[in-house]
Structure 1
């Protein structure tokens, strides 16, 4: 089985993915980290030097590569991954994949992203919580149709990472 974690940035895909992989004795792969390793550039540098179209093509190729590889993987994908190419179709139509949408409220995402915005070029320029909430709301409006195609939708607000991992395991097995 390959568990694919999807959701908006700061929803916990990487941190929960690592804990889940550890608990299941699976390998953990973060798709953005894999792209950075292959490109020898950060995602930000890939966007700046080669453009978003190039990045999305690489994301699509590496997603297909991981999903056709071995089993026993927890894969965390970028927030935009499900929304491009036919990535969500590839995820949900693969019989060995269980897809999980880590659903966080705009309030939760705003609080987390205001603290982490310096490390995230897409939102580094946003000054206020109100502006951040508006940005997230617009983005989620565009993306939620893809996220909601996941086999499992799990609300993560006000839960510890440990509780979320336990919830996932209960829903998987």
Structure 2
């Protein structure tokens, strides 16, 4: 079984993914980290040096490779991964894969991401939490049709990390 965690950046996919993998005795993989390793460059470097189209093609290639050749894995996707190419179809059509959308409200996402925006190229230029909320809102409007296709959704608002982890474990 492969558990694919989907959600906006800052929703806890990597953090919770590692904990879920440990609890289930599964392996954990962050797709962005995998891409960086395979490409010998960070994701921002791949974007800047080879362009977004190259990155998205590689992202789909690596996603397909992972979900078709792995087992007992928790896979954290990049926030945009489900929205490009045929990535959601790859996930939904594979009987070995269960997808979970970690849903967090815009104000909470903005609060989390504002403090770490210097490490996130997509939002590093945003200088106020208000502007960040507006950016996230527009982005989510485009992405929710993809995220909402996940087999399961966990609303993480007003829950501790431990409570969300319990919800995740209960699914499996």
Question: What band does the TM-score fall into relative to the shorter chain?
Answer: over 0.9
Q: Which runs of 5+ in 1 are unaligned?
A: none
Offset, 1:158? 2.2
* Alignment match, 1:28: 28
In structure 1, C-alpha distance between the alignment counterparts of 2:171 and 2:26, rounded to whole Å: 17
**Cα shift readout 1:122-170 (whole Å, capped 9, x = no counterpart):** 1011011110000000000000000000000101112222211110121
In structure 1, C-alpha distance between the alignment counterparts of 2:169 and 2:42, rounded to whole Å: 32
In structure 1, C-alpha distance between the alignment counterparts of 2:74 and 2:171, rounded to whole Å: 15
TM-score for the superposition, normalised by structure 2: 0.98
Matched residue SS, 1:3: strand
Q: Which runs of 5+ in 2 are unaligned?
A: none
Superposition map of 1:96-115 within 5 A: 96-115=96-115
How big is the alpha-carbon RMSD for the aligned residues of Structure 1 and Structure 2?
A: 0.7
Matched residue SS, 1:98: strand
TM-score for the superposition, normalised by structure 1: 0.98
Matched residue SS, 1:100: strand
Q: Is structure 2 residue 155 aligned with structure 1 residue 155?
A: yes
* Number of aligned residue pairs: 172
* Alignment match, 1:60: 60
In structure 2, C-alpha distance between the alignment counterparts of 1:23 and 1:169, rounded to whole Å: 8
**Cα shift readout 1:99-134 (whole Å, capped 9, x = no counterpart):** 000000001100001011000011011011110000
In structure 1, C-alpha distance between the alignment counterparts of 2:57 and 2:146, rounded to whole Å: 18
Could you list the runs of 4 or more consecutive aligned residues of structure 1 that deviate by over 6 angstroms after TM superposition?
A: none
